[in-house]
Chains A and B, each alone.
Chain A
Amino acid sequence: MCLAVPALVVAMDGEMATVDLDGVRKAISLALVDGVAVGDYVIVHVGFALQRLDVEEAEATLALLREIGAQADGDNGASPA
């Protein structure tokens, strides 16, 4: 529910952090998530980090999805998009 987007943590200052999303930078609060470090991805909603993005899970999901895509291309005899 509700608009939230993953963004990269590029700086931290106490309970606040600066996140970067393709060049857009915003100061957000880390009050809801412990153990965030620069280089982490967090899910941002109304100026707060809601959760750290589990990058391993994200990559695992993407790997599965890409496999599905590759299989379909293989079936169609088309080259990958």
Chain B
Amino acid sequence: MKYVDEFRDAGIARALAAEIARAVQPARTYRLMEFCGGHTHAIARNGLADVLPAQVQLIHGPGCPVCVLPIGRMDQAITLALERGVIVCTYGDTLRVPASGKCSLQTAKAQGADVRMVYSPLDALHIARSNPAREVVFLAIGFETTTPTTAVTVLQAQSEGLGNFSVLCNHVLTPAAMHAIVSVPGGIAVDGFIGPAHVSTVIGSAPYAPIARDWHKPIVIAGFEALDVLRSVQWLVCQINEGRAEVENEFTRAVTEQGNRKAQELVARVFELRTDFEWRGLGSLPDSALQLRAAYAGFDAERRFGVAYQPVPDHKACECAAILRGQKQPQQCRIFGTACTPETPVGSCMVSSEGACAAHYNYGRFRTPA
């Protein structure tokens, strides 16, 4: 695949790893948090932790919109599916996420709910057009990468005058989450961030500057491929050595300082900030999530069906809050691998394969002694 395979070259990866090994100060530890689930995946599937020197510690952040989705939000979708007879359209990621009473959209389907997996929100529109007598709800999740696609879909529905389509909006914002991680009292045990790739394609590199400046943490926006991640680790090590805390863009082939203005404008037209929003593992964060504007209330499933959000607390033994902030490792959680596994996830970090605990369970478990 062009512009993908070249960035996976093993020889260049070895060369970059060697440069990083030369750059690290032997007695120093470099704790780097990759914010984005896609980076967690790239690191795990390539085994990048094995090619980096021991001084570099990779810490998995919260950057998976499925992981940070509170149980109560999944309950809303499941209620709509089971009790209101709507067709719920969802991405594959959320299909098996367990919510209250061990229910998921998948188990709801087994109980007779009409739940359909889609690749794109446009597929959900298609389902609405094909089923004019039924209500169709699209479960919209995702950070800023995905939000513009939902915006276009709502505008399309409006222009077609579709009367049976609505969106259950769970779009969340990256800078707010980053801020919550970095502003923890006592300081965060992270020296630098590998910044999100495709979120930055949309929002640009500019929004990260206040975080780097105010909290003195270097941020390098990195592409998704192995060489991108390695290069960003190299730049972070360099910044940390030199005491700098800047935003650097490694992913210049897709990210500019301003980002995708058109996408940003479309989002601003359709969505507005919620005053606050609960994040699983991070608590309630102000100005961290979006809802549909009043002008599009007809397409807002929460208003259309009157499904209110009921918060559901996480398990007492769950250590996700600390793990999301890099303060603890998955193995340090009492229930990791026992009560809490990918099949029976208790907290957000285990819910999707990019959560810190799931990634460790699926890819890294063999490193710890049996």
Contact = CB atoms under 8 A, between A and B. Distances in A.
Nearest to B141: A2
Contacts of A58: 3, 253
Contacts of A61: 252-253
A72 B262 contact: no
A46 B120 contact: yes
A6 B2 contact: yes
B198 A47 contact: no
B10 interface: yes
Nearest to B250: A61
A32 B224 CA distance: 21
B252 to A, nearest CB: 4
Main secondary structure of the interface of A (DSSP, over half): mixed
Interface string B1-39: 111101101111011101100000000000000011110
B63 interface: yes
Contact of B121 (A33, A47, A72): A47
Given A69-B11, A69-B15, A45 B198 contact: yes
B143 interface: yes
Contacts of A54: 252-254
Given A51-B260, A53-B253, A57-B253, A46 B12 contact: no
Interface residues of A, number: 39
Contacts of A62: 6-7
Interface string A31-47: 11110000001010111
A60 B1 CA distance: 18
B93 to A, nearest CB: 10
B262 A1 contact: no
Contacts of A6: 1-4, 254
Interface string B228-263: 000100000000000000000000111000001011
B16 A4 contact: no
6 contacts: A29-B152, A62-B7, A68-B15, A69-B9, A69-B12, A72-B14
Top-6 shortest CB links A-B: A47-B120, A72-B15, A81-B11, A69-B12, A58-B253, A2-B145
